[in-house]
Structure 1
């Protein structure tokens, strides 16, 4: 029987795993802190430690070092890239977010114990970091609710065929589509159907990492390479070795980082910031963007050589407004999930609700649809989900004044081939004379603050009012 030690505060979500791990036949002990565990137990006698990152933080605050321990999995309620890399450097086998579902944690517990029992036969003893708890193997047919990607319209069926073909290769793939169309889901579907599926997929949103940190996070850095670099660590490209690297919003990558990435793709080598030597890596790169990269190349904002390295295989995701009956299919699944999330009774998907959803253009795509349905579930009475509680822009404008009409439809022909920024600007300029800022933000599926920031970025003037 394998013995496991759980080290976490009493209020940690990790404590919930004690009972079901015991039911699976593991011998489980618990401690409130590393200091307590060391005082009452010989940790080297345990096959595996499950440690809440908060317990490690408490130990570091006392300026004591992490004791020599067997295999350990670190779990964190506030997961971050830097903490994950540091945990691996200190010997963690896996770094997982909290809360993590029992199926995911059990899989990693078993893997860690197998590596401990048979170190010579471990398929990949390299410590692995996971930044989400959704990396499950794709065993369900694409397009069905269980697969994570829902759709049966012709463009989506063609997309699924291409995913299956691309997944069997090592080809670099560029995924293009508007924000909220599900580009990361497509990347995971490719990874889960590939030969690399037993290794990790590391997903990075290039727009979410500050420009001065992006090179360090991607490529790693040496100790003292810059102010604050108190220890050397591998970057996320090295973490993705033998697996898949997904770079979302790659158009936001600075030019210097683009040059470094090109070296990784051409030579299969990565060099830390401040280092002189290269290290070999084997990654499969999948990139995504909502921007027109070729236009960025013309403007000198994106490297032409990197563009052609990325443009080996391309997948185009259709916007939600062009997916016909898929809209209703997705809405039904989201309604069911949202009811479960908020402990609401299962609402019947009624005709009025469907009509309101099908008549909206969904500039924010599936992400906007998900937000709208969550609003409706929260605001509706127990007996019926009401279409009015979707709070869509057309509904808001209809109810504001008698003189305000529903937003006119935008000419698809006029927007063919434009970027999301072009669409955003066109939508705001076309509707701001009859809608408030709140209504515009609701329609676009974003906050008022985001709308203001996008106005500044795209230099969209506000409507002009005159005094009488």
Structure 2
């Protein structure tokens, strides 16, 4: 893990960087002065110092006890050429104006740390250190998951906290939001990253074959079993098993999976002996598992074994500026795939993308952009070739609903209806009753209150 020391007065704009640097996986300490930093910390143990020039401006050469060997970035509220030259001469890697936007500062921090890592290749890292350093890239194209909006930053924060553990994780989100990408990122950040991750889509395997595919079978266990087969769970031994669409798993297979989680062992179809396995299980679904439990379609005991840690993936329509960033990345990817020169991402194209509802989320966005690349002329990518008009129309069909009191509600989205329903009935109904009436869990109701700004009476 990279350790960063921030030296600045309490009123400094640099103080704010402590929060978001911690969010990116850095271990951050702060001091109000060089004297305080030297008194309480061994500064040579920090990979980088971020220093407000005000904290060192009044120090004499004797008082400034920061050796040139300490890597530092100096930031100044009153930047000048002479001060910058002096700071660089005294060992500063970068001299930046203050305030500086978080993106610019993060880029310089990462560059400074990469220079340090390159200069010291003999340094060894434990798996947990590697995980923390890899976590810095979450949200960038290199990590496979792009996103900087607050819901995605909350997701990344949770991922960093649980990646180093072996807890079972349930990823929830609408179809097309990128649940498998999250599972792979969790694996890459974990101590199992040198072992395999086996991904299985439970909905893609026929019911009569899924037990054999997952748990394996012995030769002659059933018609057509001409050889012994180890199964995908055994293939994930010491690594990660990702079960996508876990809600589609048949009840018989659910019982077998429960034993894997409880006992850490599997028994092949047709076998009499069990085999020990050591896996980290990550599952995903877009379905309401609690509702399935009530209907007898999903085992309650398995649900609570899976629901140790939950990660919620926001839909694309709730991700703000991430949509444009994703679209530009996907546009470059599609151009390379189809041997086209990379199109300029123009304003009309962005406007069409930002105005769409995206019920199919990132998967729909990727397909639409690929369609536009194929259909557009060589000189520019055209928004009309996204072919989104029919979806746009259907996404804005008004919702007309009459509640129990006979009041008619007219709106254009389910969120508007939910907000109207809660505000109308929260005086007479408990949270449990509200959630039950809406067909969601209390947790989902709480999340919707936060998202839509619905205050509790």
How high is the TM-score relative to the length of structure 2?
A: 0.58
Tell me by how many angstroms 1:396 deviates: 7.9
Question: Deviation above 3 Å: which 4+ runs of structure 1?
Answer: 137-140, 393-397, 404-409, 413-418
Partner of 1:224: 220
Distance 2:239 2:136 in 1: 21
Distance 1:173 1:396 in 2: 35
Tell me by how many angstroms 1:411 deviates: 3.1
Q: Quick check: 2:357–2:395 contact (8 Å CA) kept in 1?
A: no
Distance 2:396 2:306 in 1: 42
Higher Cα radius of gyration:
2
How high is the TM-score relative to the length of structure 1?
A: 0.57
Question: Does 1:367 find its partner at 2:363?
Answer: yes
Tell me by how many angstroms 1:393 deviates: 3.3
Tell me by how many angstroms 1:406 deviates: 6.4
Distance 2:395 2:314 in 1: 28
Instruction: Number of aligned residue pairs: give it.
Output: 278
Q: 1:158 to 1:253 in 2, by over 3 A?
A: same
Distance 1:361 1:158 in 2: 23
Partner of 1:185: 181
Q: Quick check: 1:388–1:395 contact (8 Å CA) kept in 2?
A: no
Distance 2:363 2:190 in 1: 27
Q: Quick check: 2:356–2:392 contact (8 Å CA) kept in 1?
A: no
Q: Quick check: 2:230–2:268 contact (8 Å CA) kept in 1?
A: yes
Q: 1:405 to 1:162 in 2, by over 3 A?
A: closer
Q: Quick check: 1:188–1:201 contact (8 Å CA) kept in 2?
A: yes
Task: Report the aligned-residue RMSD.
Answer: 2.3
Q: 1:358 to 1:209 in 2, by over 3 A?
A: same
Q: 1:312 to 1:405 in 2, by over 3 A?
A: closer
Distance 1:350 1:237 in 2: 47
Question: Does 1:410 find its partner at 2:413?
Answer: yes
Distance 2:256 2:314 in 1: 31
- 1:40-79 equivalences under 5 Å are none
Correspondence for 1:318 among 314, 318, 323: 314
Distance 2:239 2:161 in 1: 18
- 1:13-412 equivalences under 5 Å are 141-394=137-390, 407=397, 409-412=412-415
Distance 1:343 1:230 in 2: 45
SS of structure 2 residue aligned to 1:305: helix
Distance 1:138 1:203 in 2: 21
Tell me by how many angstroms 1:378 deviates: 0.6
Q: Gapped runs of 5+ residues in structure 1?
A: 1-136, 398-403, 423-468
- 1:436-451 equivalences under 5 Å are none
Distance 2:360 2:395 in 1: 21
SS of structure 2 residue aligned to 1:241: coil
